[in-house]
Structure formats: C-alpha cells, structure tokens
Amino acid sequence: ELDGVSYGFEFLWSYRDSAWYFSVNDAEGTPIVTHRKAVVSFPLLARFHRADLPPGTLVLQDTGGQFEDPGLTDLGARVQLLYFSTAELSGSVL
C-alpha cells in the first residue's frame, strides 16, 4: 500500500539482458506500467504521468554504495526498493 492505495509489483529476471524488469498493477491486477528495467538511483516511474500511479517516487537504492544495478540475487538484499511519498519529497530533490 502506497499513500493509501494498493498496488501489485512483479519483478522478472531477464537472463538475456542480465537485468531485472518490473511491472506495476492496480489492486485488481490490471497492468498500469509493464516491463520497465529496474535501475538504481533513478525515479523508476518518472516518465509516466498517470493518475493511477503512486503519487510519490519509487527508487531502487544500492545499499552497498556502488550504484550498481541489481544482479540476479541482489534485489531485496543489496538493492532495496524505496518509496518516497509526495509529503516526504516536498522541498527536496532526488
């Protein structure tokens, strides 16, 4: 639940690209954004301006400080998905 709204997230590993891709669904499972590459230190949904997306910012953070995109075993371990609400972001820049 983000800002009081339920979302579903799906993360899939691409062996061809050696990268994670993610999709965001609404509470009923209807796709909102699909197959976006999961990269660190960049607002993941920044290019999308849709009313049904979370109003805040989703970012993957490399907790090791290397700024490396997640490998096969890194997502949820070294690389964490963070959400910053609009209230948290007011007055700050990512």
**21-49 per-position pLDDT tens digit:** 999 999 999 999 999 999 999 999 999 98
- Position 61 scores a pLDDT of 97
With beta carbons less than 8 A apart as the criterion, state whether 23 and 41 touch: no
Name the pTM for this structure: 0.86
Distance, in Å, from the CA atom of 66 to the CA atom of 49, rounded to the nearest integer, reads 30
Looking at residue 73, its pLDDT comes to 97
Pick from 85, 36, 39, 37: nearest CA to 60: 39
The H or E element that residue 86 is part of is helix 86-89
Tens-digit pLDDT profile for residues 44-93: 999 998 999 999 999 999 999 999 999 999 999 999 999 999 888 876 55
CB–CB of 63/40 below 8 Å? no
Question: Residue type for 16, please?
Answer: R
pLDDT of residue 89: 80
Bridge-based pairing state of the strands 57-62 and 31-37: unpaired
Q: Shortest CA distance to 17 belongs to which of 44, 41, 4, 35?
A: 35
